[in-house]
């Protein structure tokens, strides 16, 4: 860390950051009432609103969005004539998956080996704490030099689009000169990175039906069409022999020209088992940032324990498709749906239901705000130059904001580096990254305000 008064202030705020992150991680804020009570998300939203009020935000609102979730909005006025910066994070989290596989409880922030473990620690409750820490540090050094809007989403992980539709219906609410999305991450720990592209996504549920009811496999097996076997064939058709995504009509040959991801580093980050090959062709960067990627997220079928000797009458799966920049997510959904329907064997009946969708995003990295961020990151990371990478994940709100505010500059930073293992068991955040990125954001706001004042003079 640099030796400056602002850096020392950010360092002094880390104890508070850990305490508040622990409070926020304790909420089981999975935005799916089938898994956790809605009250967990509501309590997390109230916590966020309370934190904003305590930090001097003058206009704090709980927004009831069309998908039935709540987002939290706050406004902090800055000096007269100052630009407005929108800071984004989300408080909803992925399900914990197999809780027994966690070394420590998923909703209890636990320090281990120099990292803080807990669901949402990096994605993206830590992102909110990063924003709050940066603003608190600035208040101790002359005040926050810009107008600040904060929006904390409640359903980003579900991809159900509530905040996007709310923003479209209230376009004045989130209007800003610059947007800082605190939901991506550094290419690796210690290497400051802004994200230039995001893949979009579509999420569908596919149902396969073949029989009026389950049948005894000894009496009917061999002639009765098995819905689970049909579903397996349908899902297998989504990949070629080398594992590349193959959806009829969907291009999958784009290349990535920027920062590359060495294969051995990727194998280590992804914890690929010895002897197991990577899927797809082209460079790793091509595969994870520039091309579509299909993933079967889950299958409904009898578990092994308790299964009976039956031919299955019906089976279903949840399928995710990541959509690269340059591809329309609506068109990709249509192609995926048609492919699934056409791939069914034996005349099996297939129905496809869209669950969520978000468009891909490409940032304008030549915009002036990027120069301010590059300078801020260089100082926060002791002279290390800012890198620009892609990200395979999706943040559907980005395209909505870009469409609503075409003049706004959008920057993507965050805490989700490879060691964080977001969306997996044992998610964690690096406290060092939290400290450095909080400082980088504080420095960015200072330099962006100075840049805007100079441009207006």
Domain of 233, CATH number, reads 3.30.70.360
Has 67 been annotated as catalytic?
Answer: no
In a domain, 285, yes or no: no
pLDDT value of position 218 = 97
pLDDT value of position 24 = 98
Question: Are residue 425 and residue 342 in the same domain, yes or no?
Answer: no
CA torsion through residues 414, 418, 419, 425, sign? positive
Whether residue 73 contacts residue 51, with contact meaning beta carbons closer than 8 Å, is answered with: no
In a domain, 171, yes or no: yes
Domain boundary among 308, 326, 358: 358
State mean pLDDT over 342-368: 93
Domain boundary among 358, 393, 417: 358
Exposed e or buried b per residue across 320-348, where buried means at least 16 C-beta atoms within 10 angstroms of its C-beta: bbbbbbebebeebbebbbebbeebbbeeb
The CA distance from 233 to 296, in Å, is 13
State mean pLDDT over 132-160: 96
Question: Are residue 128 and residue 242 in the same domain, yes or no?
Answer: no
In a domain, 270, yes or no: no
Q: Can you give the CATH number for the domain in which 66 is found?
A: 3.40.630.10
Domain boundary among 358, 378, 400: 358
Question: Are residue 435 and residue 348 in the same domain, yes or no?
Answer: no
pLDDT value of position 285 = 95
In a domain, 211, yes or no: yes
Residue 374 Cα distances to 9, 87, 360, 371, angstroms = 21, 18, 24, 5
Question: Are residue 331 and residue 402 in the same domain, yes or no?
Answer: no
Question: Are residue 205 and residue 144 in the same domain, yes or no?
Answer: no
pTM of structure: 0.84
The CA distance from 319 to 156, in Å, is 17
- Strands 428-429, 115-117: pairing is antiparallel
Question: Are residue 238 and residue 298 in the same domain, yes or no?
Answer: yes
Give the total number of structural domains in the chain.
2
Catalytic residue among 55, 67, 92, 433: 92
Residue 314 has pLDDT above 80, yes or no: yes
Which pLDDT band, with edges at 50, 70 and 90, does 357 fall under? confident
Question: Are residue 111 and residue 226 in the same domain, yes or no?
Answer: no
pLDDT value of position 457 = 58
Has 113 been annotated as catalytic?
Answer: no
In a domain, 280, yes or no: no
Which pLDDT band, with edges at 50, 70 and 90, does 394 fall under? confident
Which of 78-92, 342-356, 396-410 shows the lowest per-residue confidence on average (mean pLDDT)? 396-410
- Quick: pLDDT tens for 184-232: 999 999 999 999 999 999 999 999 999 999 999 999 999 999 999 999 9
Catalytic residue among 156, 183, 286, 379: 156
- Quick: pLDDT tens for 269-312: 999 999 999 999 999 999 999 999 999 999 999 999 999 999 99
Question: Are residue 354 and residue 406 in the same domain, yes or no?
Answer: no
Question: Are residue 126 and residue 26 in the same domain, yes or no?
Answer: yes
Which pLDDT band, with edges at 50, 70 and 90, does 3 fall under? very high
Q: What residues are paired with 447 via a beta bridge?
A: none
In a domain, 25, yes or no: yes
Q: Of 50, 69, 24, 128, nearest to 61 (Cα)?
A: 50
Question: Are residue 189 and residue 45 in the same domain, yes or no?
Answer: yes
Residue 456 has pLDDT above 80, yes or no: no
Question: Are residue 333 and residue 346 in the same domain, yes or no?
Answer: yes
State mean pLDDT over 426-445: 98
State mean pLDDT over 221-244: 98
In a domain, 66, yes or no: yes
Its domain, for residue 205, covers 200-254+291-358
Look over the chain and give the mean of its residue pLDDT values, rounded to a whole number: 96
Question: Are residue 181 and residue 221 in the same domain, yes or no?
Answer: no
- Strands 147-153, 200-209: pairing is unpaired
Residue 76 has pLDDT above 90, yes or no: yes
**What are the φ/ψ torsions at residue 73 (nearest 5 degrees)?**
-120, 145
Residue 245 has pLDDT above 70, yes or no: yes
Burial class (CB in 10 A: 0-12, 13-18, 19+), 131: buried
Whether residue 266 contacts residue 284, with contact meaning beta carbons closer than 8 Å, is answered with: yes
pLDDT value of position 64 = 98
In a domain, 268, yes or no: no
The CA distance from 90 to 153, in Å, is 4
């Amino acid at each position: 860390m640099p030796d400056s008064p602002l850096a020392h202030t950010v360092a002094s705020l880390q104890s508070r950051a850990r305490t508040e992150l622990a409070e926020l991680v304790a909420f089981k804020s999975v935005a799916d009432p089938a898994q956790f009570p809605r009250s967990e998300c509501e309590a997390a939203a109230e916590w966020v609103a309370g934190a904003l009020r305590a930090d001097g935000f003058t206009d704090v609102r709980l927004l009831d969005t069309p998908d039935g979730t709540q987002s939290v909005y706050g406004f902090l006025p800055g000096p007269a004539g100052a630009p407005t910066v929108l800071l984004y994070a989300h408080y909803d989290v992925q399900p914990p998956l197999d809780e027994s596989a966690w070394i420590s409880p998923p909703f209890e922030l636990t320090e281990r080996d120099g990292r803080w473990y807990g669901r949402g620690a990096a994605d993206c409750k830590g992102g909110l704490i990063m924003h709050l820490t940066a603003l608190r540090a600035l208040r101790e050094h002359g005040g926050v030099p810009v107008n600040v809007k904060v929006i904390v989403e409640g359903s980003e992980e579900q991809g159900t689009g509530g905040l996007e539709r709310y923003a479209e219906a209230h376009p004045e609410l989130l209007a800003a000169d610059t947007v800082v999305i605190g939901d991506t991450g550094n290419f690796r720990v210690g290497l400051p990175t802004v994200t230039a592209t995001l893949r979009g996504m579509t999420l569908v549920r596919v149902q396969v039906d073949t029989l009026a009811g389950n049948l005894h496999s000894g009496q009917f097996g061999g002639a009765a069409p098995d819905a689970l076997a049909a579903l397996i064939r349908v899902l297998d058709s989504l990949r070629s022999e080398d594992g590349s995504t193959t959806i009829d009509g969907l291009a999958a040959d784009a290349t990535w020209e920027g920062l590359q991801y060495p294969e051995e580093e990727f194998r280590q980050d992804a914890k690929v088992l010895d002897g197991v090959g990577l899927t797809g062709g082209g460079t790793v960067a091509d595969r994870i940032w520039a091309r579509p990627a299909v993933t079967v997220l889950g299958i409904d079928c009898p578990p092994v324990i308790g299964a009976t000797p039956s031919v299955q009458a019906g089976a279903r799966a949840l399928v995710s498709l990541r959509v690269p920049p340059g591809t329309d997510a609506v068109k990709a959904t249509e192609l995926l749906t048609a492919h699934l329907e056409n791939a069914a064997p034996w005349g099996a009946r297939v129905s496809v239901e869209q669950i969520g969708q978000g468009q891909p995003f490409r940032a304008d990295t030549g915009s002036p705000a990027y120069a301010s961020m590059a300078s801020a990151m260089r100082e926060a990371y002791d002279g290390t130059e800012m890198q620009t990478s892609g990200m395979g994940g999706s943040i559907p709100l980005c395209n909505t904001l870009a469409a609503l505010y075409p003049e706004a500059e959008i920057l993507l930073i965050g805490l989700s580096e490879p060691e964080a293992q977001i969306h997996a068991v044992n998610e964690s955040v690096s406290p060092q990254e939290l400290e450095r990125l909080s400082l980088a954001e504080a420095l960015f706001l200072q330099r962006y305000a100075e840049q805007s004042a100079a441009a207006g003079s």
